[in-house]
Chains A and B, each alone.
Chain A
Amino acid sequence: MSVSNENRPVAQGAPFVFNEEMKAKADMHIAKYPAGRQQSAVMPLLDLAQRQNGGWLSKEALAHVADVLGMPVMRVYEVASFYTMYNLAPVGRHFVQVCTTTPCWLRGSADVVAACEKHLGIGVGETTPDGQFTLREVECLGACVNAPVVQVADDYYEDVAATHVPGLLDALKRGETPKAGSLIGRQTSAPEGGALTLKDIPAKQGA
């Protein structure tokens, strides 16, 4: 029999309170909903808490969000455990998410994962001992045209090949933020290597 995963909130040991900036953003989100319906803002507030807390939601963070919205902490925990983008355990400074859903997989995401594992010396779902990187396989990130895709923080790196991985990770480690988007110079989602159609300008009619 398979035993399901335990996904319990972890205590951080330090109190969590929204800082000024996050507080202002939280108030902005809460104000979107009518009085008595503040609970509707739980998802954006959890995201704010996760951002402030280094990429994960501690027990204290859940309790604070519950407190701010006046809802039972159990309800907050239900939401946080339902969505995979909320992390209930600490993650590294750079949270590397490699998409391995079918289109990315067909375009070589397995190699990308292997390259990440090799370069970082960790397996999928693990964090490097220095706390710099956490590697995770994720389901479709919605950028299939430019597969394979790797997401780090809020940035998408597209058209990633195994050869790009060391450079990308090293740059992140140095504290740089590599330019997001296609790594092979593709213009947005246009065909690889530039436009292929409508290249010849038709002659004017009747000339």
Chain B
Amino acid sequence: MPKVTVDGTEVEIQAGSTVLQACEVAGVEIPRFCYHERLSIAGNCRMCLVEVEKSPKPVASCAMPVNEGMVIKTDTPMVHKARKGVMEMLLINHPLDCPICDQGGECDLQDQALGYGFDKSRYEENKRAVKDKDFGPLIETHMTRCIHCTRCIRFSTEVAGVPDIGAIGRGEHMEITTYLDAAVGSEMSGNVIDLCPVGALTSKPYAFVARPWELKKTESIDVMDAVGSNIRIDARGPEVLRVLPRLNEDVNEEWISDKTRFAYDGLKRQRLDRPYLRENGKLREASWDEVFLAVSAKLKSTAGDKIAAIAGDLVDAESMYALKELLGSLGAKSLDCRQDGAKLDATSRASYIFNSGIAGIEQADVVLLIGSNPRFEAPIVNARLRKRYLMGGFKIASVGPALDLSFPVESLGAGPQTLGDLAAGKHGFAETLKAAKNPMIIVGQGALARADGAAVLAAARKLADAAGVVKDGWNGFNVLHTAAARVGGLDLGFVPGQGGKDVAGILEGAQSGAIEVVYLLGADEIDNSKLGKAFVIYQGHHGDAGAHRADVILPGAAYTEKDGTYVNTEGRVQRAKRAAFPLGEAREDWKIIRALSQVIGKTLPFDTIQQLRAKLAAAHPTFATLDALAPAAWGAFGQEGAMDGAAFRAPITNFYMTDPISRSSVTMAKCAEVQSSRAKDTGTHG
């Protein structure tokens, strides 16, 4: 490894690294605009100039590889003069409209101008102005502010794999634009807002809303998909004003999907902010006492085997645990957290988690998708697959609906027939999988959420065994979930007990009268018309499908309004934190259940969330360790049997509207509209 000297400190650094990286290792910060460690090197902003001994000119450190014995100086008069010159050039055509710019206060150019800018401009000509572009409903553009760093172009081309952004013209007339002002067609386009070092690309929903120093920043976890992206929620008072990504190399790197970033305006609409009670067929506002008495009376007068509960996709583990304990004490066994009817097996953890971890994708060399479209189900996982694809030597194939994943995917077939052939070794791809060093299978909910899901799971397992997907030090059998609550629910056993009914059974029972009370804990994705005459208790935060059918509504808290534990698709236990208080009379969900238990007379044995978590961790040890992956034992699961001939169906057709929050979001509605109009546009692609 070459040794270089940075400002008198000698550091050793991997061969092929750049001078800038060497400086970072030495703890010297280099100003930069175009360089970004996750994008290719452009070297066009020239802000990172340093002096290298024996080099006649200042050197762009981001693009210069290190050599043995290089002597780098970052704090000499020459470096300062060079950087000041670059800054002066950049500011020639920059409008300096910081007081009305949304980037103000968190702007790289503003910060670095403080160090390298002049106090006045020597430029007396007219500044250049550029017409603003239309990048769709998410990205606001002020192209006059653009300094042409090309980070947005490189992001959309390399990371997102949707090369919609480009630079037209040349020299002074260069402009960043999309082709004919089309909206950026990526599910993670919002990341260019974070990447933009100036105020050229800013958030449209957040435009002129707040200044960064006014916001209370809360580090939390996202629940819009099962990835569990690490996010930062910025709130002012009771209002969530924006959501930003937080760095977690193992989960989301530093990207988040557009749904994660922009669905927050759904938190302000259609909210349940007080309890409701149905009287004479109409819901009326009620007090907590009234609704608790009504629920308690109903639960106490109903036999345990006639009570059922379904947990939704956004529910935290604490409230699921509390509800499970409460209904357990009443003798109810029909609990289910698999709203979509996925035939997941809660007894074997390896059968329902993403065993290799999301970061493990980078080790895989052959991937088989079964009934999954990661681009819609988990754009962050898709970005990781694309990252792996770009590394080269990678093969990916799919059994299921036709896919456009932003990289080539071989389509093997549409349904169980092909999977059966693969498992039996009758398909050529089985050999490819077997020959791979680190083969991977990703089973999506499209393959499991069907009547023969258990047989599909068994076939996938058989294929995994036959192809050597699970071996020493490598478990490539992965299930990709779509619901943030799902793995947590399975981990704590929110599934039918002995003799209990699953979601399909509960709905059937509700129609036949075998189930009289259904407790919906944020469950909105079930077919409400099948709830028959059952008494429906809905606890949740949005007036969505479940609330419309409810007889009693208990207003709960959305994910930004409560401390909660979520387990992502990898089985990673993460804690979301409260960024704002629940609306009106709404309360945190576990507290509602705890209060209800007292009214019923079956008081749950915890008064604080810490006590609850201690109980949860004692009963289910996976909850004891946060933010780590524990390997799950490979056991028997699934149920061998005949598979239906029907093709696997995509579980998500409209990426932007998958849960009560995103369905209430105006921003997401606009995105969905753009997406459907693009699908209708049958012109040439682009």
Chain A residues with CB under 8 Å of chain B are 1-9, 59-60, 63-64, 66-67, 72-75, 77-78, 81-82
Considering the complex, which residues of chain B in the window 246-287 have a beta carbon less than 8 Å from any beta carbon of chain A? Answer: none
Contact A74 B129, CB 8 Å, known A63-B684, A82-B169: no
What A residues does B130 contact at CB under 8 A?
Answer: 3-4
5 further A-B pairs in the complex, CB-CB below 8 A; given A4-B128, A63-B686, A73-B179: A2-B126, A7-B169, A64-B684, A74-B166, A78-B167
Interface residue B165 (Cβ < 8 Å from any Cβ of A) = yes
What A residues does B179 contact at CB under 8 A?
Answer: 73-74, 77
Bound-state CA distance A3–B685 (Å) is 30
Question: How many residues of chain B have a CB within 8 Å of chain A?
Answer: 24
A2 touches B684 (CB 8 A): no
Interface residue B173 (Cβ < 8 Å from any Cβ of A) = yes
Bound-state CA distance A78–B126 (Å) is 26
Interface residue B377 (Cβ < 8 Å from any Cβ of A) = no
What A residues does B168 contact at CB under 8 A?
Answer: 7, 77-78, 81-82
B684 touches A4 (CB 8 A): no
Give A81 Cβ to nearest chain B Cβ, in Å. 4
Q: Tell me whether chain A's interface is mostly helix, strand or loop, or mixed.
A: helix
Contact A5 B173, CB 8 Å, known A67-B684, A74-B179: yes
What B residues does A7 contact at CB under 8 A?
Answer: 168-169, 173
Interface-central residue, A2, A5, A9, by most chain B CB under 10 Å: A2
Give A60 Cβ to nearest chain B Cβ, in Å. 8
What B residues does A9 contact at CB under 8 A?
Answer: 180
Interface residue B426 (Cβ < 8 Å from any Cβ of A) = no
B128 touches A1 (CB 8 A): yes
What B residues does A6 contact at CB under 8 A?
Answer: 131
What B residues does A81 contact at CB under 8 A?
Answer: 168-170
B126 touches A74 (CB 8 A): no
Bound-state CA distance A69–B595 (Å) is 66
B169 touches A4 (CB 8 A): yes
Bound-state CA distance A67–B686 (Å) is 10
Q: Which of B127, B164, B170, B172 contacts A74 (CB 8 A)?
A: B164
Bound-state CA distance A66–B521 (Å) is 51
Q: Which of B163, B166, B173, B686 contacts A4 (CB 8 A)?
A: B173
6 smallest beta-carbon distances between A and B, as pairs:
A73-B686, A63-B684, A81-B168, A74-B166, A1-B129, A72-B163
B166 touches A77 (CB 8 A): yes
Interface residue B191 (Cβ < 8 Å from any Cβ of A) = no
Bound-state CA distance A156–B169 (Å) is 26
Bound-state CA distance A66–B169 (Å) is 18
Task: Write 14 A-B pairs (CB below 8 A) sorted by A numbering.
Answer: A1-B126, A1-B127, A3-B129, A4-B129, A59-B180, A63-B683, A66-B684, A72-B164, A74-B164, A74-B165, A74-B178, A74-B179, A78-B166, A82-B169
Considering the complex, which residues of chain B in the window 156-202 have a beta carbon less than 8 Å from any beta carbon of chain A? Answer: 163-170, 172-173, 175, 178-180
Bound-state CA distance A77–B178 (Å) is 10
Contact A73 B684, CB 8 Å, known A4-B169, A4-B172: yes
What B residues does A3 contact at CB under 8 A?
Answer: 129-131
Interface-central residue, B127, B129, B178, B180, by most chain A CB under 10 Å: B180
Give A126 Cβ to nearest chain B Cβ, in Å. 20
Contact A74 B163, CB 8 Å, known A2-B129, A3-B131, A66-B686: yes
Bound-state CA distance A72–B178 (Å) is 11
Give A34 Cβ to nearest chain B Cβ, in Å. 16
A75 touches B163 (CB 8 A): yes
Closest to B168 in A: A81
Bound-state CA distance A1–B165 (Å) is 26
What A residues does B129 contact at CB under 8 A?
Answer: 1-4
What A residues does B127 contact at CB under 8 A?
Answer: 1-2
Give B264 Cβ to nearest chain A Cβ, in Å. 30
What B residues does A2 contact at CB under 8 A?
Answer: 126-129
Closest to B171 in A: A82
Q: Which of B128, B165, B170, B180 contacts A8 (CB 8 A)?
A: B180
Closest to B143 in A: A4
Considering the complex, which residues of chain B in the window 628-686 have a beta carbon less than 8 Å from any beta carbon of chain A? Answer: 683-686
Interface-central residue, B168, B170, B685, by most chain A CB under 10 Å: B168
What A residues does B686 contact at CB under 8 A?
Answer: 63, 66, 72-74
What A residues does B173 contact at CB under 8 A?
Answer: 4-5, 7
Interface-central residue, A8, A59, A67, A77, by most chain B CB under 10 Å: A77
Bound-state CA distance A58–B98 (Å) is 39
What A residues does B175 contact at CB under 8 A?
Answer: 4
Give B162 Cβ to nearest chain A Cβ, in Å. 9
What B residues does A1 contact at CB under 8 A?
Answer: 126-129
Closest to B169 in A: A81
Bound-state CA distance A121–B71 (Å) is 65
Closest to B127 in A: A1
Bound-state CA distance A75–B179 (Å) is 9
What B residues does A4 contact at CB under 8 A?
Answer: 128-131, 169, 172-173, 175
Bound-state CA distance A9–B130 (Å) is 18
Give B56 Cβ to nearest chain A Cβ, in Å. 30
What B residues does A63 contact at CB under 8 A?
Answer: 683-686
